[in-house]
Structure 1
Amino acid sequence: MKRTRAPPNGRANHRQETVSQYYQNNAHTDYESDTAYLSDMPQQAPPPLRSNEELNLRVLRRHNSEITDVISLANYAVIYTFNPASTTWEKVNIEGTMFVCSMTPGPLGEERFTVFLLNRRSLENFESRLTGAENVEVTEEYVILKEDKDKDAEGKADANNYRVYGIWIYSETETSTTDTRTVNAMVIKECATRAGQSLKDAKERIQAMRQNELHIAAAAAETQAIPNENIQGGVQGGVSMGRTMSLKDILGQQRAQDDEWSVRAHHEQPQFQPQPLPQPPAQPGFGYPMPPAQQHPHQASAPNPRAPAQGMPDVLGDLFRRAGLQPKPQ
């Protein structure tokens, strides 16, 4: 007898359909979610394109932060030093790209320039400041730079203590480097000239400013030394300038002035001369006139001290009025 398997029940079929539908739905949903996620991500802007000049300037500033711009360059140059003992040029282990650069202004506001060479052979680079046209010489083979070895605090150096460098700049005819040596030599010479003249002008400007300050200080000192006699309320009666005067001092000075004025007025006024009193008529007697009456010297014909003489100024009243007081009635 052949047995047959019973068909799966409806529950099993439902489970199988549910699983298949789950994978379909999830597959579709994951795809949509991934697509939406990628589209929502911010797109980074491509880095800006930098020119060769900007890249070179960025590299140079890593070695010298005072460099501000690249004026000229030579793709290949070699550094030599001059040996005074053998009077020959000796090659050093420095060669690479040479740059003529401008720098930030110096402490006096002067322009500054430098020659910088990035060494391809080692980490030791070459740099020489351009300080004046007298320190640069151009020949057919080299651009010769004279550099002071040691300088003092004022920037002065020993005339016999210096180094001499020779820069050989590669150039070849009928190529892009034909005029490289000539152009760079002219640029170095011009920058050295400008640097020296700018430093000279800055020193003269500072010197003129100092001289002007000295003249102003001398004029101010002379002005303070001359006494000002026209100042109102100045020194009176020996009172020193800058001293605070009290009301008592002011009244004391005013009283001394009034006393001087009263004494002077007293001497200038006419002196009072007592007049003799008229004698009474003689009385008839024994035929002889009566003797003159004897009087005390302090008596009679003396004026009343309380009554001011006719035409005599009221000195005491004037003193009171000057002091701002009213005289008491007599």
Structure 2
Amino acid sequence: MASKKARRNNNHSNNHNHTDYESDTAYISDMPTQPAPKLRSNEELNLSVLRRHNPSITNVLSLANYAVIYIFSPSTRSWEKTGIEGSLFVCALEPGSLGEERYSAFVLNRRGLENFDLQLLDRENVELTEEYVILKDDDSANQGSTPANPGSTRIYGIWIYSEPPPNSTAEMRTINANLILECATRAGESAKLAKQHAEAMGQSSLHSAATAADTQAPPEEVQSSVPMGRTISLKDLFGQQRAQDDGFTVHAHNEPPQQPPPPPQPHIQPQVQHQQGSDVLGDLFRRAGLFPGQQQ
């Protein structure tokens, strides 16, 4: 009897365990699954690493697996190692302030914390030899992690590792050297065009401002102009304060507008024709003493 009871208990225990396993499996299957992380390409990984050192890098145009940076010593007239060696990247940068194209040569250093980051500015700063890609740095735009030597022009030599054919790195030096030269050429031409365009726009703005100023009347002309229909007294014309001015002003205002008489020239003797009847202007001139030899 005991053995039968034990078997029943064992069967019950096995059934219970089987039920728990099924419930656990159902619980796990109901949990939301996280999508697998997207695998990034080597290009994306390289760009991410480079942008940590230079955020203006937008694209990697080419790379060489191994390069060594030398600097030319004027005192010894020889090439000396800078302690920078590693993968070489030819990069495109964000456009400059004038919209010009920009490029750089970047070596991610395996030997230390200082990297080589030199902007390619002009064709004249690049020279290709059998051993080196020679780069001249004499511009303040290059303020990266390149070893500094203030007060002098720095000349760098990039030695790019390549193996004899038919190895995959056989053309590595030629490809990257030619691309560096092409990028420097494009950058120099783009900078010149952008500068010329900016100067042309500046001259156009100055010309437009000058034209707008010429179309406006000078202040003295605005002040001296007389609106149509406005009466002018003899006091304004000759500086004489006469009692007859008020009556003449009212008389002229009631008549149709006429062109005001020109101011008298002091060196010209005016000729007055004496007519019988009323000669208002002639009488006023004579009374004001403006005609020599006339009695008031």
Q: TM above 0.5, one fold? A: yes
User: 2:188 aligns to what?
Assistant: 196
2:161 is equivalent to residue 170 of structure 1: yes
Relative to structure 1, the CA distance from residue 20 to residue 140 in structure 2 (aligned partners, 3 Å threshold; closer, same or farther) is closer
Match runs of 1:1-330 below 5 Å: 23-148=13-138, 150=140, 161-174=152-165, 175-225=167-217, 236-237=230-231, 259-260=251-252
**What is the deviation of 1:257?**
6.7
Tell me the SS of whatever aligns to 1:224.
coil
Tell me the SS of whatever aligns to 1:108.
coil
Whole-Å separation in 2 of the counterparts to 1:83 and 1:95: 18
Relative to structure 1, the CA distance from residue 209 to residue 263 in structure 2 (aligned partners, 3 Å threshold; closer, same or farther) is closer
Say if 2:119 and 2:141, in contact at 8 Å, map to a contact too: no
**What is the deviation of 1:234?**
6.5
Query: CA offsets per residue over residues 263-310 of structure 1, 9 Å max, x none?
Result: 89xxxxx979xxxxxxxxxxxxxxxxxxxxxxxxxxxxxxxxxxxxxx
Whole-Å separation in 2 of the counterparts to 1:261 and 1:21: 131
**What is the deviation of 1:124?**
1.2
Whole-Å separation in 2 of the counterparts to 1:85 and 1:149: 22
Query: CA offsets per residue over residues 159-205 of structure 1, 9 Å max, x none?
Result: x8310000000111111111111111110001001111111111111
Relative to structure 1, the CA distance from residue 256 to residue 209 in structure 2 (aligned partners, 3 Å threshold; closer, same or farther) is farther
User: 1:278 aligns to what?
Assistant: none
**What is the deviation of 1:43?**
2.9
Whole-Å separation in 1 of the counterparts to 2:23 and 2:161: 62
Instruction: Between the two structures, name the one with larger relative contact order (CA 8 Å, sep ≥ 6).
Output: 2
Relative to structure 1, the CA distance from residue 20 to residue 149 in structure 2 (aligned partners, 3 Å threshold; closer, same or farther) is same
Say if 1:149 and 1:161, in contact at 8 Å, map to a contact too: no
Cα RMSD of the aligned pairs, angstroms, is: 3.4
Q: Identity of counterpart residues, as a percentage?
A: 53
Relative to structure 1, the CA distance from residue 263 to residue 119 in structure 2 (aligned partners, 3 Å threshold; closer, same or farther) is closer
Tell me the SS of whatever aligns to 2:216.
helix
Whole-Å separation in 2 of the counterparts to 1:117 and 1:263: 93
| Pair member with larger Rg | 1
Tell me the SS of whatever aligns to 1:80.
strand
Whole-Å separation in 1 of the counterparts to 2:135 and 2:251: 90
Whole-Å separation in 2 of the counterparts to 1:151 and 1:127: 11
Say if 1:149 and 1:163, in contact at 8 Å, map to a contact too: no
AA of the residue aligned to 2:92: S
Q: What stretches of structure 1 of length at least 5 have no aligned partner? A: 1-6, 153-159, 239-254, 265-269, 273-330
Say if 1:150 and 1:161, in contact at 8 Å, map to a contact too: no
Say if 1:77 and 1:97, in contact at 8 Å, map to a contact too: yes
Whole-Å separation in 2 of the counterparts to 1:116 and 1:17: 77
Relative to structure 1, the CA distance from residue 130 to residue 149 in structure 2 (aligned partners, 3 Å threshold; closer, same or farther) is closer
Q: How many residues align?
A: 232
**What is the deviation of 1:235?**
8.9
User: 2:262 aligns to what?
Assistant: none
Whole-Å separation in 2 of the counterparts to 1:171 and 1:208: 47
Query: CA offsets per residue over residues 130-182 of structure 1, 9 Å max, x none?
Result: 00000001111100000026479xxxxxxx83100000001111111111111
